[in-house]
Chains A and B, each alone.
Chain A
Amino acid sequence: MGRTLAEKVWDEHVVRRGEVGAEGEPDLLYIDLHLVHEVTSPQAFEGLRLAGRTVRRPDLTLATEDHNIPTTDLDQPIADPVSRTQVETLRLNCAEFGIRLHSLGDADQGIVHVVGPQLGLTQPGTTVVCGDSHTSTHGAFGALAFGIGTSEVEHVLATQTLPQSRPRTMAITVDGTLPPGVSAKDMVLALIAEVGIGGGQGYVVEYRGQAIRALSMEARMTICNMSIEWGAKAGLIAPDDTTFDYLRGRPHAPRGAHWDAAVEHWRSLATDEDATFDREVHLDASAVTPFVTWGTNPAQGVPLSGSVPDPETDADENERAAVRHALAYMDLQPGTPMRDIAVDTVFVGSCTNGRIEDLRAVAGVIAGRQVAADTRMLVVPGSTRVLLQAEAEGLDVVFKQAGAEWRGAGCSMCLGMNPDQLLPGERSASTSNRNFEGRQGKGGRTHLVSPQVAAATAVLGHLAAPSDLEGA
């Protein structure tokens, strides 16, 4: 019987097959690329030191600084002493264990999931892990990529392997064509609302179909990035010419004869025609419209043309309670049209939507317009290379002329670990991935949106799509 893409990648990385027995031993998988950042690694390095162990493959490991770092005053030391200690600890650990680190101020610094692909380190058919749940981003290349905890970070540092139980497989087939002005972010938010917050739990997902094939690499990364938001272990897309065109010539991409051999192998990874998935879900791209969240998890979303739901219409008592709780936190009334919701802050950035195409999309909407008087807008490139590219294209000028703040690269307002945070009660439209309570700062209220919706929202001061700007 044929195999799926995920099964092929899995099989190629089995160091040792788990023996079937009372212990239910998992397979031992080899890890091709281990990405490291300052937040989830210090305890892992400390564990190595305490056990007298070394890093087995520093040459398969790469570290960057992203979560804690400020995006302004980059010539100053990090003001928060606890953040500074954590970043300095990463620097000391990387020096001690011989790991390549891209620090603040380095052209290759940035969000770990933006840096790996842009350096050409993320490649089809490889296994990629990182102590960060959005490692699923790298699945866009046909890599088996998933987030791990700190104990597993230590395990990979010491052994370059991970014991893993074979997950079930799921196919998400998206047919049709996305309407103009509707993006990959809208597609994945609509998907998550459809399948639910735990819908992917225990599965490795393959995104396929005409609408997925039509996406650029960066849009594919947006889709795979959000796999974890509906519980999937990983999300993959079969490598094709779009993938190879993106990779070719990147610093760590194979060259010469190695490139040809690699491409031939990568083409063979596509799911066989007679392979079967444990579960299949179909979505029609042509029916997707700009999509936004109203609640406190990424599955609590509706089309922008819709309204805040009424908790009392849900049949399940626990679900009613969850919706009531979310609406109280978000300070929203049932039945309010989503377009009537005013926002204080618009955040463009993150590993979901902080790449160059995202910034181009935002600039395309906002060029020649102004950010609304009572709204602030932060535009934060996902990496310093993205920053340099945006500036080379003049996008920074477009943002600044519109009244937006143009920042340095990092995770920024995606999570409340650095100075870019919402104040209690503040409301944001954010291109990031999580609208959890307090995610963007204690008491902050988050609406997840696409870059295009973020741009239109910044101009009008309330949730809006670019089509709302016509004539404005």
Chain B
Amino acid sequence: MEAFTTHTGTAVPLRRSSVDTDQIIPAEYLKRITRTGFHDGLFAAWKADPEFTLNRVEHRGASILVAGSDFGTGSSREHAVWALLDGGFRVVVSSRFGDIFCSNAGKSGLLTAQVHSDAVEELWRRVEEEPSTLVTVDLNKRQISTPLGFRASFEIDDYTRWRLLEGLDDVDVTLSQAHEISAHEDARPPWHPRTLPAQTGEVGVW
């Protein structure tokens, strides 16, 4: 994963709350078996509207998405994160995120910056007024700022922040604790189920 320390770019306002992951990328785009190339699926249904915020010429090239509350609710599809990354986004700002989306973002290097809803409103206002506003997101300081004096601190859990700053691969970190995993396995209760060998046959109890 690419490390994230600070990012500066233009922002696009998405004045919608409860943007579920079905909207970020509809199910029909989930049939692919690759991890990249989801740009065409990003907000596919909404993009059909020429007035949709991401279609507007003044927001072209934006890398920071500023959305309403409860962004990324619903389905666990990590494709939503991949589609945003493929669409050029490095940061999503919202007052609340869906739990699984937030976790997925942290694994792939997309920063989810959780701010107070007043900060979202203020960013919307400033970016709509001046779309070329350069917004800086500093993960070290947990701060979002603009040259004309906007400052807001954002929340992100410490562990995700540390991993993003270091660009660490989770699996490597865990595998370094393999002996502790083995010790836990040795102590598991004997009745815990195993999928193998497969047991099947008629189920008589309904």
Contacts and interface: CB of A to CB of B under 8 A. Distances in A.
Interface of A: 15-16, 18, 22-26, 28, 30, 32-33, 39-40, 42-43, 46, 51, 53, 56, 58-62, 67-68, 80, 82-83, 85-86, 89, 100, 107-108, 118-121, 123, 126, 131-133, 147-152, 154-155, 158-161, 163, 165, 197-198, 201-202, 228-229, 231, 233, 245-246, 248-254, 258-259, 261-262, 265, 297, 318-319, 321-322, 325, 356, 385, 389, 415-417, 434, 436-439, 442
* Residue among A16, A197, A389 with the highest chain B CB neighbour number at 10 A: A197
Given A22-B162, A46-B33, A161-B174, A389 B195 contact: no
A197 B184 contact: no
* Residue among B73, B79, B198 with the highest chain A CB neighbour number at 10 A: B73
A125 B6 CA distance: 42
A249 B204 contact: yes
Contact of B171 (A149, A159, A259, A265): A159
Given A24-B158, A61-B195, A254-B191, 20 more contacts: A23-B159, A24-B159, A30-B188, A39-B31, A39-B77, A60-B194, A67-B27, A86-B31, A120-B199, A123-B192, A148-B103, A151-B107, A251-B203, A252-B199, A258-B191, A385-B203, A389-B206, A417-B31, A436-B23, A436-B74
Interface residues of B, number: 70
Contact of A436 (B22, B98, B171, B180): B22
B51 to A, nearest CB: 13
Contacts of B73: 197-198, 231, 297
A369 B100 CA distance: 43
A261 B27 contact: no
5 contacts: A15-B180, A86-B31, A147-B100, A416-B26, A417-B31
A155 B171 CA distance: 6
B196 A28 contact: no
A425 to B, nearest CB: 13
Given A30-B181, A318-B68, A417 B190 contact: no
Interface string B169-198: 011011101101101110011111111101
A150 B68 CA distance: 25
A200 to B, nearest CB: 9
A121 B45 contact: no
Nearest to B71: A198
Given A15-B180, A251-B203, A159 B175 contact: yes
Given A160-B181, A322-B17, A417-B27, A149 B81 contact: yes
Contacts of B100: 133, 147-149, 228
A439 B22 CA distance: 7
Contacts of A231: 70, 73, 98-99
Q: Which 5 A-B residue pairings sit nearest by Cβ, starting from the closest?
A: A24-B158, A149-B104, A151-B107, A251-B199, A42-B33
B149 interface: no
A416 B193 contact: no
B78 A15 contact: no
Given A23-B158, A24-B157, A108 B174 contact: no
Contacts of B27: 67, 415-417, 439
A43 B37 CA distance: 13
Nearest to A439: B22
A437 B23 contact: yes
Contact of A100 (B77, B107, B108, B196): B196
Chain B residues touching A, majority SS: loop
Contacts of A322: 16-18, 68
B175 A62 contact: no
A165 B159 contact: yes
* Residue among A83, A108, A198 with the highest chain B CB neighbour number at 10 A: A198
A18 B157 CA distance: 14
A165 B193 contact: no
A158 B175 CA distance: 8
Contact of B31 (A28, A68, A165, A250): A68
A439 B45 CA distance: 11
B74 A434 contact: yes
B69 interface: yes
Contacts of B20: 297, 434, 436
A15 B74 contact: no
Interface in B10-67: 15-18, 20, 22-23, 26-28, 30-35, 45
Contacts of B79: 150
Contacts of A319: 17
Nearest to B195: A62
Nearest to A107: B200
A296 to B, nearest CB: 8
Contacts of A325: 16
B132 interface: no
B112 to A, nearest CB: 13
Contacts of A68: 31
B90 interface: no
A251 B98 contact: no
Contacts of B173: 163
A198 B96 contact: yes
B157 to A, nearest CB: 6
A15 B205 contact: no
Contacts of A28: 174, 177, 180-181
B97 to A, nearest CB: 8
Contacts of B8: none
B147 interface: no
A231 B205 CA distance: 33
Interface in B105-146: 107-108
Given A43-B34, A436-B23, A252 B193 contact: yes
Contacts of B76: 40, 131-133, 147-149
Contacts of B204: 249
